[in-house]
């Protein structure tokens, strides 16, 4: 799972390795990411796939733009930087966080607590 501190972070890709690391983080992020493209345009959406090739030109990230259903492929070579613009929907919702919360409630003497998943948003 991604680091919750990524939310709101701007990832300046100074080189190929930094760009690849940022896009890997974007793939793990469970919120929208804004890709800042070299032509000056931006694409905001959910990064659901990436295919890393030998070069940036051979590598592609696929995005579902915010509010749309289409899938847009973007070459790594076209990306200047990225930002983690949307709320990370998975932040704080790991199994470990859930167990800690459950055990804290149980230790505090709460009753009526159950082992059942949270409602999805």
| pTM of the model as a whole | 0.69
Query: Cα(81)–Cα(88) distance, rounded to whole angstroms?
Result: 19
Q: Which pLDDT band, with edges at 50, 70 and 90, does 7 fall under?
A: confident
3-state helix, strand, coil in the chain (%, to 5): 25, 25, 45
- Mean pLDDT for 32-49 is 96
Q: In what order do the strands lie in the sheet with 60-65?
A: 10-12, 79-83, 33-37, 42-51, 60-65, 72-75
Return the pLDDT at 30.
84
Q: Which pLDDT band, with edges at 50, 70 and 90, does 1 fall under?
A: very low
Whether 72 shows a pLDDT value over 80: the answer reads yes
Whether 100 shows a pLDDT value over 50: the answer reads yes
Whether 74 shows a pLDDT value over 70: the answer reads yes
- Give the CATH number of domain 4-83: 2.30.30.100
Return the pLDDT at 110.
81
């Amino acid at each position: 799972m991604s680091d919750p501190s990524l939310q709101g972070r701007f990832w300046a890709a100074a080189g190929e390795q930094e760009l690849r690391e940022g896009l890997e983080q974007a793939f793990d992020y469970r919120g929208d990411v804004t890709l800042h493209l070299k032509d000056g345009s931006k694409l905001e959406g959910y990064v659901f796939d990436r295919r890393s090739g030998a070069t940036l030109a051979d590598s592609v990230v696929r995005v579902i733009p915010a509010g749309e259903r289409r899938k847009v492929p973007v070459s790594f070579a076209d990306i200047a930087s990225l930002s983690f613009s949307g709320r990370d929907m998975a932040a704080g919702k790991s199994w470990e966080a859930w167990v800690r919360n459950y055990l804290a409630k149980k230790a505090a003497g709460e009753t009526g607590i159950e082992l059942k998943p949270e409602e999805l948003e």
